[in-house]
Amino acid sequence: MIFGSSGSGRRSTDFGRGSAALQGDWHAREEAIMGTAIRVELWSEDRADGEAAINAVMSEMHRIDHAMSPHKPESELSRINRHAAAAPVKLSEEMARLVSRAIDFSKLSGGAFDITYAGVGHLYDYREKIKPSDAAIAQAREAVGYQNLILDTAARSLRFAREGVRIDLGGFAKGHAVDNATAILARRGIRNAIVSAGGDSRVMGDHRGRPWTIAIRDPRRPGEVVAVLPLEDTAISTSGDYERYFEQDGVRCHHVLDPKTGKSPSSVHSVTILAADGLTTEGLSKSVFVLGVDKGMRLIESQEGVDAVVIDAAGHLHYSSGLLDGGAQAGTQARQ
């Protein structure tokens, strides 16, 4: 996704100066956190308040990264993966809530969304272009399945039903992060802002009288866009096969894996979901990507207040009825 606005406010990384600070101004910052680009842009009447609000968001992003990164040995997620096969692991309230929501999405999608995909996912190395053998995938898949997650909500603990199970919140944590970030900004009195974590964004209000605009990139033509979405008070997530991938024997191995096969789906190139919160958009973007156009769109149509734009493997665009019928996210402009 590419985000911006149709407004004319000045964007600043030094938080304005002089009279601009007294009259209000746009403030923006971008940092590399959670393995992706975290960007905040907001309107604040006071320069110091704007800077403090962005600092608070970045601190929250670091906190979530430290708790939920599978690459940090001290993270809560890593602790779960190390010990949950042997005994129930006590969870923080936040982690228990996220695991519970993840299981809900697994049930809703028929297993297309499944945080235990990590049992296979950790075998891939996209940077080194390493793909596991079919035999290795088959063996690892035996431990994949959300049914292997034994969540005790009363005790707030999680146990794995068998050895080899592991979880990864990579398809969930960034949506959670943008939700938390916008809540922080709202508590600080910010009304107009956008927070982006890679392919996940959430907008607050509008761009001072005009909607925010988020462009959906062309999956195969860098720098080109296929649709522009004018948005207000909306979360949006895009999952694409162009984000982390490598080609091997003519097959694109990308980071979205089908939990049932342990391999990358190939029927769509990108899925964009719009909904009220980032957890919903991120969970459903992965689900629809795995399900494909027909099953995926049926899932979206069953969810109130959710819309989707899907680009299939032939490059064709598919829109949910809420967009086609001029619903809350109307105004999509397609270009091919």
pLDDT of residue 1: 56
Mark which of 108, 127, 160 sits at the end of a domain: 160
Domain containing 143: what range?
76-160
Does residue 125 have a pLDDT over 60? Answer: yes
- Asked if residue 178 belongs to a domain, the reply is yes
- DSSP reduced 3-state for 22: helix
**How many other CB atoms are found less than 10 A from the CB of residue 120?**
25
Asked whether residue 5 falls in the same domain as residue 154, the answer is no
In a domain, 258, yes or no: no
Q: Is residue 21 part of a domain?
A: yes
Exposure b/e, 149-168, CB count within 10 A at least 16 = b: bebeeeebbbbbeeeebbbb
Residue 132 in this model has a pLDDT that exceeds 70: yes
Both 47 and 16 in one domain: the answer is yes
So what's the pLDDT on residue 322? 92
Of the chain, the percentage scoring pLDDT greater than 90 comes to 86
Q: What is the pLDDT of residue 170?
A: 87
Residue 7 — very low, low, confident or very high, per pLDDT cuts 50/70/90? very low
Angstrom distance (rounded) from CA 164 to CA 145:
11
The pLDDT assigned to 147 comes to: 98
**165-178: average pLDDT:** 94
Is the pLDDT at 10 greater than 50? The verdict is: no
Task: Look at phi and psi of residue 274 and say left if phi exceeds 0, alpha if psi is from -120 to 50, else beta.
Answer: beta
Can you give the pLDDT at residue 326? 55
For the domain that residue 120 is a member of, what is the CATH number? 1.10.3980.10
Q: 82-114: per-residue pLDDT in tens?
A: 999 999 999 999 999 999 999 999 999 999 999
Shared domain check, 22 and 144: no
**Count of helix runs (H) and strand runs (E) in the chain:** 10, 17
In this structure, are 93 and 38 located in the same domain? Answer: no
Rounded-to-integer distance, Cα 146 and Cα 289, Å = 18
Instruction: Give the model's pLDDT for residue 137.
Output: 98
% of residues, the chain, pLDDT over 70 = 90
| Model confidence pLDDT, tens digit, residues 180-222 | 999 999 999 999 999 999 999 999 999 999 999 999 999 999 9
Note whether 333 and 308 are within 8 A (CB). no
The answer to whether residues 123 and 9 belong to one domain is no
23 confidence band (pLDDT: 50, 70, 90): confident
Asked if 86 and 150 sit in the same domain, the reply is: yes
Domain count, the chain: 2
Q: Return the number of other C-beta atoms located less than 10 Å from residue 322's C-beta.
A: 20
Please report which confidence band the pLDDT of residue 249 belongs to, taking 50, 70 and 90 as the band edges.
confident
pLDDT score of 117 more than 80: yes
3-state helix, strand, coil in the chain (%, to 5): 35, 30, 40
**Cβ count within 10 A of residue 123:** 17
Residue 89 lies in a domain: yes
If you average pLDDT over residues 288-294, what whole number do you get?
A: 98
pLDDT at 11: 35
Q: Tell me: do 62 and 178 sit in the same domain.
A: yes
pLDDT at 336 over 60: no
Least confident of 1-15, 52-66, 157-171, 273-287: 1-15
Angstrom distance (rounded) from CA 122 to CA 255: 10
Largest CA distance in the chain: 66
How many CA within 13 A on the CB side of residue 207? Answer: 22
In a domain, 6, yes or no: yes
Task: Give 117 or 328, the one with higher predicted confidence.
Answer: 117
Q: Using the predicted structure, report yes or no on whether residue 15 has a pLDDT greater than 60.
A: no
- 54 and 188 within one domain: yes
pLDDT digits (tens, 9 = 90+) for 319-335: 999 988 654 333 333 33
Cα–Cα distance for residue pair 147/319, rounded to 1 Å:
32
Q: What confidence score (pLDDT) does residue 306 get?
A: 98
pLDDT of residue 45 exceeding 90, the answer is yes
